[in-house]
Every structure is written in C-alpha cells, then in structure tokens.
Structure 1
C-alpha cells in the first residue's frame, strides 16, 4: 500500500495579540479549531515525510596497499607493497523515491564496495537491498528493496529553489536514529569544491553531520529538494555549511541508472572557462557570470547547434549559470540525446540555441576512471593538427597526478606499452590488461615521447 501526502495549510502570519506584534512565518500547520493550538510547527509535515527516509548499514571488504618493511624485503624478497583486503562496516541514510518499485537513492560513497546492504525503516523493519547502479562522479547510487507498504517522498522542482527558502535535513547522523534539523538554502550552484567530479550543489545551513550522507533535504511542503552529500568544516563536524545534490540532477541520473544500469552522460563538445569582469570587458559583454566558450570541438553537438568560440553561455533551460564548472555538471547529468536550450550572448546580443547532446561515454571520460595516475585529466577521442588519431587530453587540472607524470593539454596518447590505441575505449581496455610499469606513447606537436607510470 502506497502512502500519500496530505495537503497542509500554510500559515503566513501569526498575530501575537498579547504583545501587539505580528510574527511572519512559513510553516506547514494543521488547523485544530482551538486558536491556542495554532502555533507554527513542522511536525505535521515531518510525520508524513520521515517514513520515506531510511537508515542504511553496509558491510564489505576493501583493498588497501600495505608497505612491506625493508627488513622483510631484505630477508624474503618480494615487492615493496602488498595488497590486503580488509572488512569494513558503514552507516548512512537513504530516501525512498518510488514506493511501488522499491527504489531508494543514497550516495555512492555510502554503499561503495558493499557486499551486503541493509535498509532500516522508521517502523523498525529491516530489508535487504540490491544496488542497481551508481555514479561515482556525481556520488549517486540507486538501491532496490521489496516494495511492501513503503512511503516515498515527492520530488520538488529544484530549479525553482531560491536562496532563503526554508529547508529541513532528515538523516541518521553519527549512527543515531532518525534526526531532523532545519535551516535555509544558503546558496545555489556551488562548484569547485573538489568533492566530486561534477558539482552543482545546493548549500544549506541546516545541520548536516557524518551519517546524514544520502539523506533528504526537503522543503516545507515535504518535497525532496536534494540529497545531502557533504559537509564543509574542521574535523568533519557541522559548521553551518552543508551541500546537497539537487533533486532534478539526481532524478536525471537515477532514470539513466534504472534504464541502462549506468549513467550515459550528455556531451556538449566545448572547451572554456569562467566569465569574470576582465573577460567580460575584453569581450564587450554585459554579463559578469557564465561559461565562456574558448573552443568548439569538430563534429560535436555544440558545432551542430551552431555554437561558436567567443560565445558566453548564461543559462541552461532558463536557469542562470554562475560558472563553467556548473555548466559542465548540468550537461553531464543529462542523458545522451537530451534536448537542451542554451541562452548565449554573442557580440552583445542574447539568443537561445537548441542542442541535442552527444553520448559522452562513447568519446570522453574523466581519466581517473581509467587509472589513478591519470586523475585530473579529461580524455577524448580525436586527433592533432598532424592527423595523429588517438586519445586527446582535452582538459588538465594543474597539480594533479596526471600533470605530475608529464601530460599536457592537447597531448595525443597513441600507444600503451607499444600497443596502438585509437580510442578511449581501446585505451581503457589496454590499461585494464596491463600490470607493472606502464609506458604511454604520446604525440606532442611534432615530437614523440614516452611518459612512464610506475
């Protein structure tokens, strides 16, 4: 039996006659008839919402590198490091988003490497869950349990969320039973935090602590606004800065996982950077925020739609952009084939461009997915000016492992251990079969060189 939410009246003001004051409030209230009981309270909404938020306990094993002491290597020989499997247990939270199908959303880091996942409901029932799929880069995972008298949270349109909206965080911090905290939306479109590969977070001052990961951020109508995923503060404690994955972004990713068992990211096919006052002045543009297009890749969705180098993208589907990172996260969360309307400024004039996204999984990957030493690079199928086809380093972050091994933007990887590679898929397959030292054959302009990964 699927439970539904009751509609609660919204009280916009409470007159405190004894003090002669008018106190503004925005809280869901039932009406009891007795005026003395007409006090602002979140309890009625929470009574409906909290059964949809669950506790998640996981057990599994993880592989860790252990350095072998010098004396043992001297007497017995062997490698400097050994791989060792260690059992682990963890706790987190989750949100039921479909009561009929038994779908539960949580963070990928809550259930990563888990061999056994147990979901505990607010009524005390414990159910075994199966992971249908996950996306490490956006930190989302989809679980399934037997659909038996479950309660699901309705989804809010997170694109309509505004700074200052009241929100409530529901989860299981520090392994405690279900806990509720309240606050407001502090900021939108947060990125550049190095928490995940694709960041477009809702920031809130509702207290979020360890164990809240995967829990719900809801509005005063009891609708899911976001999935709590991270905190910012010393020693992992709450300091009033928490982050949640927007519900719309989560829904797009979960729909792909449910249909395909994986996320099939959309690809726009541009390179660029943030817009600031200096760039806006140089381009004679009347905007100081957005995503500047420095290059449109050949035969990409962007080229097909007519985007040009020098364009400034200011909005996606009508929602304003703050940065190139935010654009990257929004596009990546949309599925291949999705139709997107981009608002751009070109030569001082604003216009809309409709784009049908390519499939990023076929041509572009975040290199950390392939090998840890390549973290910080984005790889694409392509070629250089000399016609050398292979795996192009389309983006590279400074100070990352990929930069430290010597990769540079626009490098073309054409071989691994003397084996030719033409595409990202071939590159991934060769690395999966390689062990020990790895030598990358790289074309850089007119030069050929080898970069070694140990």
Structure 2
C-alpha cells in the first residue's frame, strides 16, 4: 500500500471517530496490518551523525574614537582615532560526521570562522574539542576533526540525481534548542545570484531551517546526505519556507581536497560567459534555453587547450546537465585542479564532448583584459608567498599602464573586498560594478587605483 493511501486511511479514521472520541481512544499503530508511515526508522540511523557545534573566540575591530574622548585612551591610538578593540563572541551551529573512523565533521565556514575554540556535541551527550582541517569561504564549507570512538557517519548521495518535488529532511540545532528534525521537499535546484556565497548552486527547500541549522544535514528518505544547510531568506527573522543547502557533490569534492591537500586547490576552466537566453538560443539555432554561453576563452587555459571556442554553449559536465553559467562556475570551481572532466558543448547545432584537464586557478598567467578593459596590457599571476594577485608584466602605454599599475604590484582588494587569488579577483569583476577601486600593495605601502 502506498504512503499516500496510508495517510488517507489514517485521516479518514480520525475524522469518522470524531474529536471527542479520539480524546478517549488510542490511535491505531497499523492499518490493515501495515504499520503507519514514519520517518523514524531512517532518522534513527542518521541523527547520531548530526552534531551541534559551539564556538567561542575574540574579534578585533577598529573603532573610530571621537576626538573629545581620545585623551582617555592614551597616546597609542592611530592618527585617525581608530583603536583596535577585542570583543569576545560565542556562536552555535551544526555539523555532519562524514567519516566515523577519522572523526571528520563537515560544517559551514561561517560557523567556525575566527573561532579560538570549537566544541562538537554528539547526540549521545559526549563533547569533544575539534581542530580545523580546512575551510573555503567561497562555498561556505569547512572540515573539522574530533578524536572520538564509536561514531556514526552519513553517506553521500549523488545530488545531481535530485528532482524538484523529492522529499527531504533537515536536521540541525536551531536556536540552540538541541537536535531538531523538519521535513519538506526540494523546492528548486541550481539557485544562484543570491549573493550569499561566491560559488552558488543551491538546493532550495521548504523544510524549516532556522538560525543554528547552519552546517546541518539535508537528507533524502534513504538517509543519505544530499546537502549541507547554509542559509535562509527570512525578512522577519524566522523561517518562511525558503531555505538553501549546498549540494552534496560540491561538499564531497571540497572535503576530499581538504583531506588530501589541507586546502582547496580550485580547478579553473578558463572561460568567460553568461546565461543562455531565448535570443541567443534562437541566434545559434538551439531549441533549449539551458546551458552556459561562452563569450571568451582565455589564452593558455584548460578550455583553450581542450578546443572550447567562443560561441560554444556548454550543456553538461561529466554527462550531468548544466542549466546555467552560474551552475557551471560552481561545479567547476569545486572540482580540484588537475581533474579531467568531460565537457559537453553545442557548436553549430551539433553536440560534442571534449575532455578537459582543469588548471589551478592561482597558477595561471592571465591576460588582465579578459577581466576588465581598463586592465589591458597587464599580465596577472598568483602572488608568491602572500594573498593577492601579482601584476607580473605591464605593457608600456597600455590602459593598465595609464591607470597607474606597475610591474610587481600586488592587488589585495577590490572596493571593500579582500582578494586572495585570481579566482576571487575574476569573481569580483564578474559582478560588474560601475567603479572599481583596486587596493594595491607596492613594496611596504598600500594605495588605491580607480578603474572606470
């Protein structure tokens, strides 16, 4: 008998009994000899692998001190009156054990950010101090480790197999209440453009997710991990049925890189592009409007070496459909450098598959004009021993030269956002701000150059 028939029979039974009768009668545990449907058997195997995480630490902030009060703070303040202030903080979140033998726990990067102490609390009451193995701010994923025995783990599911309408269950620690379970469905797939993270390819769900659920598990009805809960849209501060989770395939790729290298070695395809719309689809004689349109292929990139061309439409990665450029960027950006992937493209109305070996994003020399016209004439590469992007070469008289860039400059920020590598710089340029203020380290000094 189907789950829906079970529910219909149970509902009909309750209605025919009447409200007053139900108050005095035991509800049935079975209908026609079959047990009533329940998520309890699945949850009994999964909930021991979902943990609560509490963090504490101090944050340093520079606060402007009004002139009239500076006397009370002594002469050590900076000339503009900004004094570093250490403020203690505490936070709560959730996590998921993905390797019981090694004690690996996956959570959100923002849950453990700047924490001096991380305490993982198991469902059975045990508590352990955790150490951070690695994290990735661009996807909001972190991996920590505890030294404990008799742990339970959750197996990864293939998130590319999800469909809108699939039943899901969210498990976490909302508002510090302790482990809480909610259920719902997959509301949408491939959500991006929310400006929550830099690489966005979210699963959207109506399963209730609230503050403290961050880093918790989103599972299917087989008890497999399909996502890590990360964010909600909550105009009033509470759940309104719009929650987001990072797909398990992305999580698995990133955690494997952290385990192997202790860091994320992000793969880069080397294309610039945008979403495929109806006008482009008609112009290129394509019926579908799903895919990533390639505007430009970067020289000496993985894409150019594999034969991808401007005007191609990327429709799949490893035989899995790609619906948008944002989805392509998120999938490629969470695969490791050196990985070989099968890229499906549409060219001249015909389907082709190309084999591409991804390059590491911070090891490429990139002609800066592909990022912004005002940088034409500059060659960019990874800074050697510090975060940032090195200006390794400048053509005299070029736009980059005229905008005041010099060979040896290190770009460390754009507007108010820090930049650690080429991938981050490219991502910021793709937001297309009207004015770009590059923060540059030149020798021991810092300066800004404005690009228009």
Q: Normalising by structure 1, what TM-score? A: 0.78
Which sections of structure 1, spanning at least 5 residues, go unmatched? 1-8, 22-31, 366-377, 393-410, 441-449
Q: Secondary structure at the match of 1:159?
A: helix
Range with greater deviation from structure 2 (246-255 or 232-241): 232-241
Given the superposition, is the C-alpha separation of residues 271 and 13 from structure 1 closer, same or farther in structure 2, using an over 3 Å criterion? same
Residue of structure 1 aligned with 2:65, choices 65, 68, 73: 68
Partners of 1:343 and 1:386 in 2: how far apart?
A: 32
- The alpha carbon displacement at 1:386 in A equals 11
Given the superposition, is the C-alpha separation of residues 364 and 205 from structure 1 closer, same or farther in structure 2, using an over 3 Å criterion? farther
Partners of 2:370 and 2:119 in 1: how far apart?
A: 41
Residue of structure 1 aligned with 2:380, choices 373, 391, 396: 391
Q: Secondary structure at the match of 1:193?
A: coil
Q: Normalising by structure 2, what TM-score? A: 0.78
Given the superposition, is the C-alpha separation of residues 223 and 17 from structure 1 closer, same or farther in structure 2, using an over 3 Å criterion? closer
Q: Greater share of strand residues, 1 or 2?
A: 1
Paired residue for 2:310? 309
Whether contact under 8 Å (1:417, 1:439) holds in the other structure is: no
Whether contact under 8 Å (1:414, 1:420) holds in the other structure is: no
Paired residue for 2:41? 44
Paired residue for 2:140? 139
Given the superposition, is the C-alpha separation of residues 263 and 313 from structure 1 closer, same or farther in structure 2, using an over 3 Å criterion? same
- Tell whether 2:224 aligns with 1:232: no
Paired residue for 1:58? 55
What is the alpha-carbon root mean square deviation over aligned residues? 3.5
Q: Secondary structure at the match of 2:305?
A: helix
- Tell whether 2:211 aligns with 1:197: no
Paired residue for 1:438? 447
Whether contact under 8 Å (2:374, 2:451) holds in the other structure is: no
- The alpha carbon displacement at 1:14 in A equals 3.3
- The alpha carbon displacement at 1:147 in A equals 3.2
Q: How does 1:367-382 map to 2 (within 5 A)?
A: none
Partners of 1:107 and 1:18 in 2: how far apart?
A: 40
Paired residue for 2:166? 165
Q: How does 1:287-326 map to 2 (within 5 A)?
A: 287-326=288-327
Paired residue for 1:14? 6
Partners of 1:126 and 1:174 in 2: how far apart?
A: 19
Range with greater deviation from structure 2 (428-437 or 245-254): 428-437
Partners of 2:368 and 2:124 in 1: how far apart?
A: 48
Paired residue for 2:347? 346
Which sections of structure 2, spanning at least 5 residues, go unmatched? 14-28, 382-397, 413-418, 422-438
- The alpha carbon displacement at 1:74 in A equals 9.3
Q: Secondary structure at the match of 2:116?
A: strand
Partners of 2:402 and 2:347 in 1: how far apart?
A: 40
Given the superposition, is the C-alpha separation of residues 384 and 203 from structure 1 closer, same or farther in structure 2, using an over 3 Å criterion? closer
Partners of 1:349 and 1:180 in 2: how far apart?
A: 47
Partners of 2:11 and 2:172 in 1: how far apart?
A: 37
Whether contact under 8 Å (2:231, 2:245) holds in the other structure is: yes
- The alpha carbon displacement at 1:280 in A equals 1.4
Given the superposition, is the C-alpha separation of residues 380 and 341 from structure 1 closer, same or farther in structure 2, using an over 3 Å criterion? farther
May I ask how many residue pairs the two structures share in their alignment?
394
- The alpha carbon displacement at 1:352 in A equals 1.4
